[in-house]
Amino acid sequence: MANPFTTFTCTRLLSLVLMIFSLVIAPVHSAETNPSWETITIDGRQYVSLNSVKNAYKFTKMESSNKLVTLQNAKVSVKLNIGGNECLMNGVKFVLSHEIATSNGKPYVSQIDLAKLIDPVLRPNFINNAGDFRTVVLDPGHGGSDTGASNSLGYEAFYNLKVAGLVKSQLESKGFKVIMTRNSNVFISLQERVNIANAIKDEAIFVSIHFNSGNSNARGIETFTLSPPSVPHYGSGIKESDFATRMVTNTILQTSP
């Protein structure tokens, strides 16, 4: 389990990163309809050239070194690994739905990743149909007989509830209405958690809080969202050998200047 105080520090850092991203001068059109994109079809899927991305988002540099492509301006650095499906944006790792591809020696990113992940991060103020909400459902994972992960400091279920309580206080201080799926160390089934969320009539978001198990080098936060339509969810079909490949990719992304 990670230290909960480390989690909060990283959360504030991520908020700062997103604020920096919002300063990017972005295209007027949405990432799905921009007529200036240079697009091709690969394996039945639409891709956009990274050169188009560079021009549209006013990146001043695009550099390639081996399989690593870096887009950069004064505020934002984006690193993508050709053949991989992970990228770093200002040092924060994001997992793409599809691999970075090449055609005639030029790198391309899938249009769905550009529209559903990269564009919302680079310019969060332009998210289409985001809607307004003032209600947040906090779901502290596990509880009761389901203790979750554990280490010498205790059980995951306890820390999930502890963090949820701290987040609840912060959100309420900002005027949000907060609903908790559990307020004590009790077992709540997955279906019960779904029922609690679905019973809410207000516009709301659902945030489930967990502490994943990992080695002693694990740091930061990991955020899962709903996958775009027709895209397999993250983790489905992952083999043990994939983790070795991911470690190599992480090393390339994180150690490159």
Q: What is the pLDDT of residues 1-11, one digit of tens each?
A: 433 333 333 33
- Is residue 95 domain-shared with residue 180, that is, in the same domain? no
Measured CA to CA in angstroms, residue 199 lies from 98, 116, 248 at distances of 35, 28, 44
> How confident is residue 249, by pLDDT bands cut at 50, 70 and 90?
very low
What is the pLDDT at residue 51? Answer: 95
If DSSP codes are grouped into helix, strand and coil, which group holds residue 105?
Answer: coil
User: For the domain that residue 205 is a member of, what is the CATH number?
Assistant: 3.40.630.40
Question: Is 194 or 240 the better-scoring residue by pLDDT?
Answer: 194
pTM, 2 dp: 0.67
- Is residue 190 domain-shared with residue 243, that is, in the same domain? no
- Is residue 48 domain-shared with residue 116, that is, in the same domain? yes
Unique residue bearing structure tokens 């991520």? 14
Percent of all residues in the chain with a pLDDT value above 90, rounded to a whole number:
56
> How confident is residue 144, by pLDDT bands cut at 50, 70 and 90?
very high
User: Which residues fall within 8 angstroms of residue 95, CB to CB, at 6 or more apart?
Assistant: 85, 86, 234
Give per-residue pLDDT as tens, 15-59.
434 443 444 444 545 565 576 789 999 999 999 999 999 999 999
- Is residue 70 domain-shared with residue 142, that is, in the same domain? no
Domain that holds residue 44: 20-128+239-251
> What is the count of structural domains for the chain?
2
- How many whole angstroms separate alpha carbon 79 and alpha carbon 76? 10
Give per-residue pLDDT as tens, 165-209.
999 999 999 999 999 999 999 999 999 999 999 999 989 999 999
Q: Is residue 222 part of a domain?
A: no
- How many whole angstroms separate alpha carbon 122 and alpha carbon 144? 40
Question: Is 12 or 228 the better-scoring residue by pLDDT?
Answer: 228
Q: Is residue 157 part of a domain?
A: yes
Question: Is 60 or 4 the better-scoring residue by pLDDT?
Answer: 60
What is the pLDDT at residue 31? Answer: 60
Q: Is residue 14 part of a domain?
A: no
- Is residue 29 domain-shared with residue 96, that is, in the same domain? yes
Ramachandran quadrant class, 66 (left: phi over 0; alpha: psi -120 to 50; beta: rest): left
- Is residue 196 domain-shared with residue 118, that is, in the same domain? no
Q: Is residue 256 part of a domain?
A: no
- Is residue 195 domain-shared with residue 137, that is, in the same domain? yes
Q: Please tell me the least confidently modeled range out of 45-54, 96-105, 128-137, 153-162.
A: 128-137
- Is residue 124 domain-shared with residue 140, that is, in the same domain? no
- Is residue 65 domain-shared with residue 97, that is, in the same domain? yes
- Is residue 52 domain-shared with residue 111, that is, in the same domain? yes
Percent of all residues in the chain with a pLDDT value above 70, rounded to a whole number:
74
- Is residue 113 domain-shared with residue 142, that is, in the same domain? no
Q: Is residue 184 part of a domain?
A: yes
User: For the domain that residue 72 is a member of, what is the CATH number?
Assistant: 3.30.457.10
Q: Is residue 217 part of a domain?
A: no
Q: Is residue 218 part of a domain?
A: no
- Is residue 177 domain-shared with residue 245, that is, in the same domain? no
- What's the mean pLDDT when you consider all of the chain? 80
What is the pLDDT at residue 3? Answer: 38
What is the pLDDT at residue 74? Answer: 93
Q: Is residue 192 part of a domain?
A: yes
